[in-house]
Amino acid sequence: MAGSNRDVAERLRFMAQLLEVTGEEDVFKVRAYERAAQQVEGSPVPVSELDEKALVAIPGIGSGIAKKIASIVRTGTFPELSELKAKIPDSLPELLKLDGVGPKTVHRLWMKLGIESIEDLEKAARSRRIRAVKGFGEKKESEFLRSIAQYRASATRMTRDRADAVVAKVASVLTPGTFEVAGSYRRGKSTVGDIDIVSKESPRAVNARLRPIADEMINEGEQRTSVRCLGERVDIRFTDIGSFGSMLIYLTGSKDFNIRLRALAIERGLKLNEYGLEERTGGTFHTFPDEASLFATLGLPLIPPEIREDRGEIERALAGDLPVLVGPGAIRGDLHVHTSATDGRMTLEELAGAGAERGYEYILISDHSSTLHITHGLDADGVTAQGKEIERVNRTSVCQLLAGIEVDIMADGSLGLPDRVLGDLDIVIASVHSGLHEEKDTMTRRILSALANDHVDILGHPTGRLFPSRAAYDLDMDRVMEVAKGNRTALEINASPYRMDLDDPQIREARDRGLLLSIGTDAHEREDLGNISHGITLARRGWCSPGDILNTMDRDALLRWAS
DNA sequence: GCCGTTTTCGGCCCGACTGTTTTCAGTCG
């Protein structure tokens, strides 16, 4: 169905791309559509439910785009988009994804050489036809070919664990305490495009140390160096200690956040750049060794990196009303792990030990039910036997194991184990693992029917997405949240780097509606338990406070909540 | 296209870097 926030944002963003490649409109109109798309995507409320007045109240959406959103919700598109789409080859906007290729380049190549696609561009560059166009030369041709090869090699973004590996490799040649990873990595996004690092060391020293570990030095500068490492792009920006704070803010972004921050600086009679703040009259320049002092000068508290997305955080910060975000210290346990009884690697004893090492009060044992044959899931007898084992382990364990299950939601919406079995367990997670390509209505009904079961406490990985290959299944999340709220069912934040499910806009929506969220690593082996940090980061991106997160309850409160 | 306790018109974040330039446009972050 057209009209979900994601659909609307996609149409608006497509409009922005088409406007870009026509090359006729100014960049500000393009940005207006992009910003509107961003706002819709981050909106906790479905825009399909808002009237024009409520839409215009969203920053970045005026009466013009409000009407277009209404049209998208009603018809799936809007007239200006349809008209523009008819004028431009479908394959043209994809050219914008190439590194070094922007709207002006696309427009010019299209007009002068009839280049409409990446394939066209490749052919033209190979046959050396591009250098004939004024403003292009030999270097540009080889640059295009390089970009095309790179684009084809890595069309997907990094998962968090892959990003961690790249960061670790680069960090191994940097001096501890002299750098900070910035960019979308620091903001905690579910996937990461490239790695950005701010360094206080000397460029020459760092460049020399990077060469042996890099696949390729893309370019080496005094201010900035770009390398490819483990196949991924890493940008390092050099700064002196005095400007570290402003440089870190600049490189952490997001882009939209930076634009708002700079606009705020202008309102204060200041000009913000990556080196500091300049007074517009008099020209006195102020530098900041850390972020907090720069924020303070703008009249703001330190805004946590995870929420720097221009989704209302600046307004809330100005009002002194930022939420207190949940942190690692508040987490008392892991609410989704598997054991060697099914497809996991750890025994109950090992899990209890690993939990104690992490300082956990509890771990929820949640193996698959037998209906998921591929994992050798537990049947009723298996659950009973595991329950006895859990009691035995708990007698000597500091970290208490909770008896649970990740029960399958079957095609007809029933659950993979009978109620009498589920009723004996402390906490029940219900998840979909099969029939992932059902129609939206069918999938929604399946899940609602599972939520209607009183024994179900948590809906596991609610959208079913899997990086890099599987998209979220089609689901009326609005309805699911409504019913989950009514039944007091928690939604899971699955912290596996391959799932990261729910994603942050949905977490924010759930939080705003007063739902509880449960962080689970879905660990199958010991190292996976560390993924809890990804879940906490996601919760922070969704503006969650400790009170929004199930895992911050102590064991007794948790069991009371579940009963 | 959005926005407004200086503005309903005329702004809209700012700097580094590259390639193609002989003074700058385009792209990127």
Domains and CATH numbers, chain A: 5-153 (1.10.150.110), 158-238 (3.30.460.10), 250-318 (3.30.210.10), 328-562 (3.20.20.140)
Residues of chain A with pLDDT under 70: 1-2, 154-155, 375
CA separation, residue A232 to residues A153, A252, A468, A485, A556 (Å): 10, 18, 15, 41, 46
Contact A108, A135 (CB under 8 A): yes
Q: Which nucleotide is nearest to A80 (CA to C1')?
A: B1
Backbone torsions φ then ψ of A234, nearest 5 degrees: -125, 125
Distance A184 CA to B27 C1' (A): 20
Distance A293 CA to B24 C1' (A): 37
CA separation, residue A160 to residues A171, A190, A258, A543 (Å): 16, 7, 23, 20
Distance A460 CA to B2 C1' (A): 40
By C-alpha to C1' distance, B5 is nearest to A267
Distance A269 CA to B6 C1' (A): 13
Distance A528 CA to B7 C1' (A): 56
The Cα–Cα gap between A306 and A239 comes to 23
Contact A425, A401 (CB under 8 A): no
By C-alpha to C1' distance, B13 is nearest to A259
CB-based contacts of A468: which residues, under 8 Å, 6+ apart? A156, A157, A159
Contact A430, A520 (CB under 8 A): no
Length of chain A in residues, anyone?
A: 563
Phi-psi region of A522 (alpha: psi -120 to 50; beta: other; left: phi over 0): left
Q: Which nucleotide is nearest to A55 (CA to C1')?
A: B2
Spatial strand order of the sheet with A490-494 comes to A333-337, A362-365, A400-408, A427-431, A458-459, A490-494, A517-520
Distance A267 CA to B6 C1' (A): 11
By C-alpha to C1' distance, B4 is nearest to A267
Distance A321 CA to B28 C1' (A): 34
CB-based contacts of A85: which residues, under 8 Å, 6+ apart? A18
Count Cα atoms within 13 angstroms, Cβ side, for A278. 9
By C-alpha to C1' distance, B11 is nearest to A28
Q: Which nucleotide is nearest to A142 (CA to C1')?
A: B19
Q: Which nucleotide is nearest to A27 (CA to C1')?
A: B12
* DSSP symbol at A524: S
Report the amino acid identity of residue A524: H
Of A277, A279, A297, A299, residue with least CA distance to A287: A277
By C-alpha to C1' distance, B14 is nearest to A273
pLDDT digits (tens, 9 = 90+) for A13-47: 889 988 888 877 778 888 899 889 988 887 878 89
Query: Residue A2: what pLDDT?
Result: 58
Which residues pair with residue A192 across a beta bridge?
Answer: A158
By C-alpha to C1' distance, B15 is nearest to A273
* DSSP symbol at A305: G
Q: How far apart are the first and last CA of chain A?
A: 37
Contact A7, A42 (CB under 8 A): no
Distance A192 CA to B27 C1' (A): 21
Evaluate the CA torsion angle A101, A120, A78, A38 in order and state its sign.
negative
CB atoms within 10 A of CB A165: 14
Report the amino acid identity of residue A274: E
Distance A532 CA to B4 C1' (A): 45
Query: Residue A474: what pLDDT?
Result: 83
The Cα–Cα gap between A267 and A273 comes to 15
Distance A27 CA to B3 C1' (A): 16
Report the amino acid identity of residue A464: G
Q: Which nucleotide is nearest to A275 (CA to C1')?
A: B15
Q: Which nucleotide is nearest to A109 (CA to C1')?
A: B26
Query: Residue A217: what pLDDT?
Result: 86
User: For chain B, which bases have at least one atom within 7 A of a protein Cβ?
Assistant: 1-3, 11-21, 25-29
Of A468, A492, A544, residue with least CA distance to A513: A544
Alpha helices in A91-137, H assignment, sequence order: 103-113, 118-126
Distance A223 CA to B16 C1' (A): 8
The Cα–Cα gap between A220 and A204 comes to 9
pLDDT digits (tens, 9 = 90+) for A278-303: 988 878 899 999 999 999 999 999 99
Query: Residue A155: what pLDDT?
Result: 65
Query: Residue A152: what pLDDT?
Result: 81
Torsion of CA A331, A496, A540, A188, to 10 degrees: 130
